[in-house]
Structure formats: C-alpha cells, structure tokens
Amino acid sequence: MNIAVCVKQIPDPAAPGRLDPNTFNLVREGKLVMDDSDSYGVEMALQLVDRAGGGEVTLISMAPNGETSGLRTALAMGAAKAVLVSDPALGGSDALSTAKVLAAAILRNPFDMVITATESTDGYTGTVPVQIAEILGLPAVSFAKKVTLDGNKAMIERQSESGYDEVACELPAVVSVTAGVVEPRYPSFKGIMAAKSKPIETLSLSDLGLSADQVGAAGAREAIVSLRKAEARQAGQIIEDDGEAFAKIIEYLEQLKVV
C-alpha cells in the first residue's frame, strides 16, 4: 500500500499573515510550517500503510524557495520520503495550476491512493483535491471522516450535511480527509532525528515536463481583482435568563432551520 499525501507548507498561522498589496497574494517569505489540516492526512496514510502491513507514505508539496521545514515535520511523523516542487515560475499559481503540478509530482512514484486535506488553512479554495483527481483520471471521494481498506477497495464514510454517506471506492483514488478522521501524532524526537536523513526530491517545472505558461501567474485562470476588510460583526443578541431563555434559544435556532 503506497500512499501519496499532499502537504501544504504555509506561513505560521500563529504569526499574523500579510497580503501583497499588488498581487493580493499571501506573502510566503521565510520559514513555512506544515498546514495543520494536512497532519490528519499524513496520520491517516501512516495508519493505512501500517494496517496494510507494508508500503510507504510519500509526501507531495509545492512551495517557494525550496522550503522543506513543513515536510520535515511530516517526515518526522513517519512518512518515508517527499517530492517538493519549487520553481520561481510557480508564483501566483491558482488552484488549477497547483493541481496540475501536484498531479505531475504524484505520478513520479507508484501509488494506490492520494490523500489530501479538504482545503488549506491559508487558501481555502477547497478545489485542489478534485482537480487532482480529474487530471489523474481517478475517482475522488471528498470529506472523508473515516477510511478503511477492504481488499482493493477503500471504504469511506463521507461527511454530509445531515450525516454521512458510506462509499466504496476502487483504488487508486483521491481522498480528501476532514480534521476529524484521525488524531494526528506529534513527531517524537527520534522521528525528528530520523527525518533529517529521509530523501526529499526537489524538482523544477521542467523536471515535471510542465512549462511556465501552463502554471503560475501566467497560466492562472482565476485572478483576485480586489480585496476589502471583513465587516465588523454586529453585536449579538443578549437574552437575560428568567428561567425561560431556553425557549427563546430554541425559537432562534428554529428560525435558522438548524433544529
């Protein structure tokens, strides 16, 4: 069982982010960290490989400046190796460009499954997983909250608005996992030491057989045209509890059609 896991390396969410005033893109200088959302996919993949009794987890990432800090974290969790695509021409990539690059990188190694998060914490488009599937010509199962294996099939519980769907899916497939799928381990110091010598293959666009006009700002089909601050939230409604406040809360929730 070989699994490719897409891992995004993002600016540390603990530090306040900055947007480039000209391109409206997030500034991605300096050290990047593994997107927390991807730690679930890494953990899921490690568990599936473990249960299958063999194989390995390969990380796939696209990041500026040959950044590997976030990948080292995922390697420390137990992934075997990583493929990093880093090329100045990738600046300004939109979701589709990213999917093209990741798909090409995934194809470098044999795999039975591709795991991604449902969306990244710094971009939030949520479209990359299905785009990868489309490019690779594979089935996509999104929002997995549970993944098990049954022979050559993945049995997936897929989160829906009202509950979950049970999906059986032939492998290989692309599966996006939610934050509830498994509890990610944190790297142990032995894992961190071992990760130092695990291979990270760093590739340019030409290594992948892609040209600069297909991806990056040049190939982007979406553009951010303007940006404005989120509106300040209105003050909430305060209900004094005279013993009957629960009824008002139920009434309010009914209005919202959530109960």
> Which residues sit at the interface with other proteins, rule CB under 8 A?
14-15, 36, 73, 76, 185-193, 196
CB of 6 to other proteins, least distance (A): 20
Q: Which is nearer to other proteins, 172 or 191 (by Cβ)?
A: 191
Spatial contact of 96 and 123, defined as CB atoms under 8 Å apart: no
For other proteins, the closer CB: 15 or 239: 15
143: region left, alpha or beta (phi > 0 left; psi from -120 to 50 alpha): left
Could you give the 3-state DSSP secondary structure of residue 144? strand
d(Cα 187, Cα 74) in Å, to the nearest integer? 8
Q: Give min distance, CB of 17 to other proteins, in A.
A: 13
Minimum distance, C-beta of residue 47 to other proteins, in the bound complex (Å): 16
Question: Using an 8 Å Cβ cutoff, are 96 and 131 in contact?
Answer: yes
Q: Which is nearer to other proteins, 15 or 259 (CB)?
A: 15
Q: Which is nearer to other proteins, 35 or 157 (CB)?
A: 35
Report the C-alpha gap between 49 and 43 in whole angstroms. Answer: 10
Q: How far is the CB of 181 from other proteins (least distance, A)?
A: 17
Nearest Cα residue to 95 out of 224, 221, 226, 225:
221
> Closest Cα partner for 81 from 250, 217, 249, 195?
195
Residue (76 or 141) nearer to other proteins, CB: 76
In whole angstroms, what is the distance from residue 199 CA to residue 195 CA? 8
DSSP string for 84-105: EE--GGGTT--HHHHHHHHHHH
Strand partners of residue 198: none
CB of 10 to other proteins, least distance (A): 14
Cα 4 from Cα 57, distance rounded (Å): 6
Closer of 77 and 169 to other proteins (Cβ): 77
In the complex, the smallest distance separating the C-beta of residue 75 from other proteins, rounded to whole angstroms, is 12
